[in-house]
Structure 1
């Protein structure tokens, strides 16, 4: 085992937030005519999906 081995935690959480916010913002502008509502919904979905993928990878 190497002492200098980097552990990457919450990688998919960041990816989920990074993808969920812009997609939610666009959908919010198209559906609700409100940027903040869509961004909030996208943020929630991004956090949920990213956390689920992270926890699934930690089980292995």
Structure 2
């Protein structure tokens, strides 16, 4: 994994954890909110990392040229 991919996963986990704490406070169970938020955040971070910073394959055109 590249540094940017790890950064995107970290950002996703941070967002998910903050959302989880918010859900935990609202529903009066912070521990379950944090665990659910961490799972959601990890999913968001991995999706961002794959979409934005995934390996891009470039295809070269094959040309039949004579030397």
- TM-score category by the smaller chain? 0.7 to 0.9
User: How far apart in 2 are the matches of 1:7 and 1:41?
Assistant: 25
Unaligned stretches of 5+ in structure 2?
57-67
What is the root-mean-square deviation in Å for CA atoms of aligned residues?
1.8
The question of 1:10 aligning with 2:10 is answered no
Residues 2-41 of structure 1 mapped to structure 2, 5 A cutoff = 7-31=3-27, 33-41=28-36
TM-score normalised by structure 2 residue count? 0.68
TM-score normalised by structure 1 residue count? 0.75
What's the counterpart of residue 56 of structure 1? 51
Unaligned stretches of 5+ in structure 1?
1-5
Runs of 4+ residues over 6 Å off in structure 1: none
Q: How many residue pairs are counted as aligned between the two chains?
A: 54
